[in-house]
Amino acid sequence: MNRIVVAGGGLAAARVCEQLRAKGHDGELLVLCAEPHPPYDRPPLTKAALLEERDTTLRTDFELLEADLRLGVAATGLAPDRDVVQTAEGEIPFSTLVIATGSAPVPLPGSGPQHVVRTAQDAARLRAGLRPGAHVVLAGASWIGGEVATAALRLGRRVTCVEPGPAPLSTALGDEVGALFLPWWSDVDLRLGVGVTEVTATGVRLGDGSHLTADVVVAGIGVRPQTDWLSGSGVEVDRGVVVDEHLRTTRPGVYAVGDVAARWSVRWNRHLRVEHWDDARTGPDVAAAVILGGDGGPEPLPVHDPVPYFWSDQFGHKIQYVGQHGAEDAVVVRGRGSAKWGAAWLAPDGTLNAHLSIDQPKQMIHARAAIDAGAKPDPESLADPDALL
């Protein structure tokens, strides 16, 4: 048997199929996709798709790829001792398995009604909820929170956002950089330093005991990898499916790509779970090459270790972040007070670890190349946003 099974129905799963065929896999290809839709793009779900109906289905042609796409069929288990995936339709044997089950939003506690945005159905439900006069309460002034706030304001809705940190995006970017985003939130009733403890029948209860009445409650407090189905399978899971730099799990013949993977980064000397569109797009190239190249061949195995890249569209601006910063890094704010501001994070030895650009796509491209090259820019000249990296 030469059957590759892909578990998951998002960007990473679609790209794996394209790459496997492009690189010459001529055996069976079977995709288990829990959702009823063929794979689609998620970034528009908190952007254009909240303003109007959007079809974001990917162009991947599964028929042309001769891939057996099983819609609405989830992988429910992986046998520990046999190469079979369990589903509600029975067991499916494989010679190679690619795990691409992505991540799912963490809901808020409480039994009242709430929205999350992960699927096209979630976005359609939220769009319907953003009706005229609705008061929208967001939990989390984060990537998702900022984008939903942007759409809700554009529709003329009243928006309140509850954020436990001292500034928007402070969890991701730190307090100093987060504070620079405050002016963007001027049309939002932003409640900082307090969290939502419970969604009630009529709104949300906050950590200070107060209650906010809401027509729509949206949770934007993070995601977790969809790995429950792998329990007891022999595949190591530690905040994501643990893979090496070749995207191989701890079980031979089993690989993981996209949001679900915690991939070893040679560059950063640790496992990274990169929940970004770009990583789900590019990782499958490497996974397919490794699968088809076979271990122990004459060529060195390809490595997936790009500088991570993420964007977000908020309040009429494009935020672009490249790299990966840690608590020990020093942050340099670039162009403080100007429209072209940004930030750079330097490791204790001066290496550029991460860079934030606002509305400056060219600068982001330079920054990514500089991080890739291990550049050590002069911190003083970095403060000038026009200084080349």
Contact string (CB under 6 A) for ligand FAD, positions 233-272, x = contact: -------------------------xxx------------
Nearest 5°: phi and psi at 332? -120, 120
Binding residue for ligand FAD, selected from 13, 108, 159, 288, defined by CB under 6 A: 13
Out of 311, 317, 318, 347, name the contact with ligand FAD by CB under 6 A: 311
Parallel, antiparallel, or unpaired: how do β-strands 261-265 and 317-323 relate?
unpaired
Please tell me whether residue 74 binds ligand FAD under the rule CB under 6 A.
yes
75 near ligand FAD, judged by CB under 6 A: yes
At closest approach, how far in Å is the CB of 42 from ligand FAD?
Answer: 3
Q: Which residue is it, tokens 């690189």?
A: 23
Rule CB under 6 A: say whether 97 interacts with ligand FAD.
Answer: no
Q: Verify binding: residue 98, ligand FAD, rule CB under 6 A.
A: no
| 185 touches ligand FAD (CB under 6 A) | no
Q: Which of the stretches 61-69, 309-317, 323-331, 374-382 binds ligand FAD when contact is defined by CB under 6 A? A: 309-317
The yes or no reply on residue 43 touching ligand FAD (CB under 6 A) is yes
- Calculate the alpha carbon distances from 196 to 65, 133, 373 in Å: 46, 23, 42
Residue 54 touching ligand FAD (CB under 6 A): no
Supply the minimum distance, in Å, between the C-beta of residue 300 and ligand FAD: 26
Distance, CA of 363 to CA of 102 (rounded, Å): 30
Least distance in Å: CB of 33 to ligand FAD? 5
Among 150, 233, 312, 363, binds ligand FAD (CB under 6 A): 312
Q: How far is the CB of 100 from ligand FAD (least distance, A)?
A: 5
Binding of ligand FAD at residue 308 (CB under 6 A)?
no
Residue with tokens 């992960």: 118
- How far, CA to CA in Å, does 307 sit from each of 56, 223, 363? 26, 21, 15
Strands 342-346 and 330-334: antiparallel
With CB under 6 A as the rule, give the number of residues binding ligand FAD: 36
Q: Is 8 in the site for ligand FAD (CB under 6 A)?
A: yes
Residues that bind ligand FAD in the complex, under the rule CB under 6 A: 7-13, 32-35, 42-43, 45-46, 74-75, 100-103, 117-118, 226, 229, 258-260, 275-278, 280, 310-312
